[in-house]
Structure 1
Amino acid sequence: MRALVVRAVDAPLRVEEIELPAPGPDEVRVSVRAAGVCHSDLSMVDGTLAPPYPLVLGHEAAGVVLAVGDAVTRVAPGAHVVLNWAPPCRSCWYCGRDEPWLCERTGSPSAPRGRTPAGEALHVTLGLGALAEEVVVPQAAVIPVPAELPFEAAALLGCAVLTGVGAVRRTARVAPGESVAVIGLGGVGLSVVAAARAAGADQVLAVDVSPTKKALAVAAGATDFLLADETLSRAVRERTAGRGVDHALECVGRSATIRTAWRATRRGGQVTVVGMGAKDDIVGLGALDIFHSARTLRSSVYGSSDPDRDVPELARAVLDGTLGSCGSPP
């Protein structure tokens, strides 16, 4: 079978033949039918997350179960599933607090699995390696979804949409009538835009460096589109009676855009960091500014979501028309 492999930092990506083991007692073999490319995959390629190489890329995917181990009860062959790159253990301290997105035993950047035909050991991204024709994963890493859900939509539910929608609903808890700025309009950011409008936000200011994102932002529900430049803070305040937005959700993962989100938010508002950054990219904020602004700064890991609960809910929303196939309203 074939997979997309990176062999060193910034090395060319190659489609290579690989070999995966047969499913163990608690494992599932899945035929991947659709997969997305997440910014985290790029962080694997450029070395930001410092994974071991050679590495099979990909963690945002959906497909059909081909085979299951003897102890598997969650799915059967033929089931349509979304892959979950952070399956919670359900037994650690955080899982016991109903915070499975902080599980102590999951979310490793990579895991050893599979070999090349020459016998060279491989690692797979976030335990999945989903940019491949097939994967072998623990049964906890597959979430059943309706067979009528298109694979292209199902794949995005496992990361971009779950992360973006969860950031709005469960982390920021955007309320009807509030104003929201969304900085960075990739798959996660567009999902944040759609979820903010669905939550009843009166203003959703979509921000990106590229003017080509405007049409996508408007289609997702943005009320305004702003270019990310030196005039951004002023432009946001001009649209919010001089105060700034109630919520700014940063979907890039860079110190510069986190500071931009901070400046765009009103006193007493909330900044939610959704994008994953580099460990040596330090955010500088003034101590007096932090005190005087009374803003809240927090992060949203995997949308503060429980994938086993939230992915099926999002799948139903896509099918009943309340959520578009890429996280935007129909």
Structure 2
Amino acid sequence: MKMIAAVMYEQGLPMPFAQSNPFLIEEVELEGPGEGEVLVEIRGAGLCHSDLSVLEGHRKRPLPVVGGHEGAGIVRELGRGVTGLTPGDHVAIAAVAGCGKCRLCLNGRPGICQVVSGARNEGMLATGHRRLRKLDGSRLNHYSGVSVYAQYAVVTPQALVKIDDSVPMDVAALFGCAIVTGAGAVFNSARVAPGESVAVLGLGGVGLTSVMAAREASAATIIGIDVLPGKFDLAKACGATHCFDARDPELVEKIKELTNGGVDHAFEVSGNLVAVDTAQKITVRGGQVVGVGVGKTTAMFNVNHLSWVSEERVLRGSFMGGGIPQRDIPRYVDLFLKDRLPVDKLLSEQLRFDQINEGFDKLAAGSVIRQVLLPHGNA
């Protein structure tokens, strides 16, 4: 079928993106689903900082590629052998789906499945196929195995999680990345316990979801940290008990005084190396730093070896929430419907295709939390 999609041909173009146009809006061809694949009509696709880092060239992708990894839609067609889904189902799209067979998947860690990640890194679906191409027949790559900046996508069923039809599609789009990542870091990776103290460094969509999840986990002290104080009112509405400017030269001392020596869990969500260092400094002895944000592929950070060992500090990575999307997303949707995880607060605006590059300018400037592309013009 022919459809409209946002195609990237070059990474690292200069800002403003509204002028350099890293995404070109084009008509492309999408083949129908093959064996073990599903056709989804995309009804919402989020603009994420991970996508921004790809635009900026910090993480390389095979080009040209149809962008987008955070989305939701409606199942339209099933390939041979697909079970558990029906045309008409509303689904969140989770880009971290695993193969379901390797030892990592069998141990409940599909997000770091080596089999699927290899195919995704080469611009293919988990099945090893490409279903996208330009009108002249030349190849287009899939982004993170999903490519949701398009009117339709062919994906594997492992990437789809059926959700309640009552969830608006612009909200549903967030569950595939921002929500599963931010909430999962708290519930799965850190396992925050009632009464503990938490700091979240970086108050974007993922960070604010971590704040909400920490409140749901009954953390006693929830500290939001960002370079943009304009985000603090929203952070407090999401559950933060205190907020601090990341540029405050007395930040570390203030947090240690507030928390009697440091927080139990520091979630570094921005992917900024200065914030990684701060997260280590504000964590109490025996506490843990949870790395959630991703930076440049070449980025390295330092750890004081003596304090790491003698103070029993934990450094933990949490990729896309460190859990199982098919288990976790329905739980998070249920919390949303009960107003215990009010993730609709993250929505800043809805976008048309012709606004996508400008949307990334706004994301880079920090003037928005989550924008959602509506490939068909309405949610």
* Residue equivalent to 1:232: 251
One-letter amino acid of the counterpart of residue 186, structure 1:
G
CA RMSD of aligned residues (A): 1.5
Q: 1:92 aligns with which of 89, 102, 106?
A: 102
One-letter amino acid of the counterpart of residue 54, structure 1:
P
Q: Are residues 1:21 and 2:2 paired? A: no
Task: Report if the CA contact (8 A) 1:197-1:221 is conserved.
Answer: yes
Q: Secondary structure at the match of 1:257?
A: helix
* Residue equivalent to 2:4: 2
Distance 2:285 2:100 in 1: 38
Once the 2 structures are TM-superposed, how far is the Cα of residue 16 of structure 1 from its aligned partner?
Answer: 1.3
* Residue equivalent to 1:66: 76
Once the 2 structures are TM-superposed, how far is the Cα of residue 116 of structure 1 from its aligned partner?
Answer: 1.4
* Residue equivalent to 2:320: 302
Distance 1:113 1:204 in 2: 45
Q: What are the Cα deviations for residues 281-320 of structure 1, in whole angstroms up to 9, with x where unaligned? A: 1101222232333211111112111001111111122122
Q: 2:330 aligns with which of 308, 312, 321?
A: 312
Q: 1:114 aligns with which of 111, 114, 132?
A: 132
* Residue equivalent to 1:183: 201
Q: 1:205 aligns with which of 211, 218, 223?
A: 223
* Residue equivalent to 1:51: 61
Once the 2 structures are TM-superposed, how far is the Cα of residue 73 of structure 1 from its aligned partner?
Answer: 1.4
- Work out which structure has the larger RCO, using CA pairs closer than 8 Å and 6 or more positions apart in sequence: 2
Query: Which stretch shows the higher mean deviation, 223-232 or 174-183?
Result: 223-232
Q: Secondary structure at the match of 1:105?
A: helix
Q: Secondary structure at the match of 2:26?
A: strand
Query: Which stretch shows the higher mean deviation, 108-117 or 158-167?
Result: 108-117
Task: Report if the CA contact (8 A) 2:96-2:112 is conserved.
Answer: no
Once the 2 structures are TM-superposed, how far is the Cα of residue 94 of structure 1 from its aligned partner?
Answer: 1.2
Distance 2:39 2:264 in 1: 45
Once the 2 structures are TM-superposed, how far is the Cα of residue 238 of structure 1 from its aligned partner?
Answer: 2.5
Query: Which stretch shows the higher mean deviation, 317-326 or 291-300?
Result: 317-326
One-letter amino acid of the counterpart of residue 253, structure 2:
R
Task: Report if the CA contact (8 A) 1:161-1:327 is conserved.
Answer: no
Q: 1:262 aligns with which of 251, 262, 280?
A: 280
Task: Report if the CA contact (8 A) 1:59-1:130 is conserved.
Answer: yes
One-letter amino acid of the counterpart of residue 254, structure 2:
A
Q: Are residues 1:192 and 2:210 paired? A: yes
* Residue equivalent to 1:145: 163
Distance 1:231 1:133 in 2: 49
Distance 1:254 1:321 in 2: 31
Q: Are residues 1:285 and 2:287 paired? A: no
Q: Secondary structure at the match of 1:106?
A: helix
Q: TM-score, normalised by structure 2?
A: 0.83
Task: Report if the CA contact (8 A) 1:25-1:71 is conserved.
Answer: yes
One-letter amino acid of the counterpart of residue 3, structure 1:
A
Distance 2:194 2:344 in 1: 23
Q: TM-score, normalised by structure 1?
A: 0.95
Task: Report if the CA contact (8 A) 1:191-1:327 is conserved.
Answer: no
Once the 2 structures are TM-superposed, how far is the Cα of residue 327 of structure 1 from its aligned partner?
Answer: 7.3
Once the 2 structures are TM-superposed, how far is the Cα of residue 240 of structure 1 from its aligned partner?
Answer: 1.4
Task: Report if the CA contact (8 A) 1:163-1:301 is conserved.
Answer: yes
Q: Secondary structure at the match of 1:30?
A: strand
* Residue equivalent to 2:93: 83
Q: Secondary structure at the match of 2:7?
A: strand
Once the 2 structures are TM-superposed, how far is the Cα of residue 175 of structure 1 from its aligned partner?
Answer: 0.7
Q: Secondary structure at the match of 2:173?
A: helix
Distance 1:22 1:104 in 2: 26
Q: Are residues 1:124 and 2:142 paired? A: yes
Distance 1:102 1:262 in 2: 24
Give unmatched runs, 5+ long, in structure 2: 14-20, 125-129, 347-379
Q: Secondary structure at the match of 1:34?
A: strand
What percent of counterpart residues are identical? 40
Distance 2:94 2:288 in 1: 28
Distance 1:86 1:285 in 2: 29
Distance 1:89 1:259 in 2: 35
Distance 2:115 2:172 in 1: 25
Distance 2:344 2:48 in 1: 14
